[in-house]
């Protein structure tokens, strides 16, 4: 585990921010000992992006462990999320432009029945504001430039999706999903199914494969210093 660090990422940090923070600490450690680190010693990466508004488990890889990134990307994951019904966001999260759809208040029975329809193998179109590459460029970069972003649908698997709490307009759930699943898109699709619209206001990753949030040893200081 010396080359794998489990981080509980705070709100507001990008995955790259965390990588840069860890790399800076490694460099500072070598400098303190009067040594100059090699490029290999400063090699730091992550095994699966978390959006800035999201929190939770981020696996940081150091040195030769970076070669294992692909292994982690294929692992199933567990997320806790809160959806807000009645509104949509241009990015599917709190960072986008929010618009009101309607004030329809679905019953808890309707919500439960809607959620059941997403369990199993489903077709999902990843969000425009994602890190997916299109012709060598990130989708979110093209979207920010105002360019058309067309991402083909993909099959993902929702092993289970459970309602934790429903107090309109907030809907809290926990789910186990396959790699490649976008929770922002899942939330938007739930909103469409309920005819209310929805976007993800809170997101927390609690598991990647056998690694759990309870295994984390570090929680980054939000000061970033």
Beta strands in 47-153 (DSSP E): 55-62, 77-85, 87-89, 98-100, 120-124, 133-134, 137-138
Pair type for strands 4-9 and 218-219: parallel
The single-letter DSSP state of residue 38 is -
Q: What are phi and psi of 71, to 5 degrees?
A: -65, -45
Bridge partner residues of 9 (DSSP): 56
Number of DSSP helices (H) and strands (E) in the chain, helices first: 5, 14
Tokens coding 214: 């309870």
Given a contact cutoff of 8 angstroms between Cβ atoms, the answer to whether 79 and 200 are in contact is no
The b/e string for 40-77 (b: 16+ C-beta within 10 A; e otherwise) is ebebbbbbbebbbbbbbbbbbbbbebbeeeeebeebeb
Q: How far apart are CA 98 and CA 90, in angstroms?
A: 7
Q: Does residue 51 carry a catalytic annotation?
A: yes
Catalytic one of 3, 8, 51, 64? 51
Bridge partner residues of 170 (DSSP): 84, 167
Q: How far apart are CA 66 and CA 26, in angstroms?
A: 15
- Residues with a known catalytic role: 51
């Amino acid at each position: 585990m010396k080359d794998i660090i489990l981080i509980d990422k705070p709100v507001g940090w990008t995955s790259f921010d965390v990588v840069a923070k860890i790399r800076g600490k490694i460099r500072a450690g070598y400098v303190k000992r009067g040594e100059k680190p090699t490029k290999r010693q400063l090699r730091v990466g992550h095994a699966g992006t978390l959006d800035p508004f999201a929190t939770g488990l981020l696996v940081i890889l150091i040195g030769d462990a970076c070669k294992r990134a692909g292994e982690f990307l294929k692992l199933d994951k567990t997320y806790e999320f809160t959806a807000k019904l009645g509104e949509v966001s241009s990015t599917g999260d709190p960072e986008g432009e929010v618009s009101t759809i309607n004030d329809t208040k679905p019953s808890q029975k309707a919500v439960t029945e809607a959620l059941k329809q997403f369990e199993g193998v489903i077709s999902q179109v990843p969000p425009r504001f994602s890190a997916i590459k299109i012709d060598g460029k990130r989708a979110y970069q093209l979207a920010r430039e105002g360019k058309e972003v067309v991402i083909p649908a993909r099959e993902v698997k929702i092993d289970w999706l459970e309602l934790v709490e429903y107090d309109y307009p907030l809907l809290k759930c926990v789910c186990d999903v396959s790699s490649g699943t976008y929770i922002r898109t899942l939330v938007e699709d739930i909103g469409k199914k309920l005819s209310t619209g929805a976007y993800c206001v809170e997101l927390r990753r609690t598991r990647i494969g056998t690694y759990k949030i309870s295994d984390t040893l570090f929680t980054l200081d939000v000061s970033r210093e």
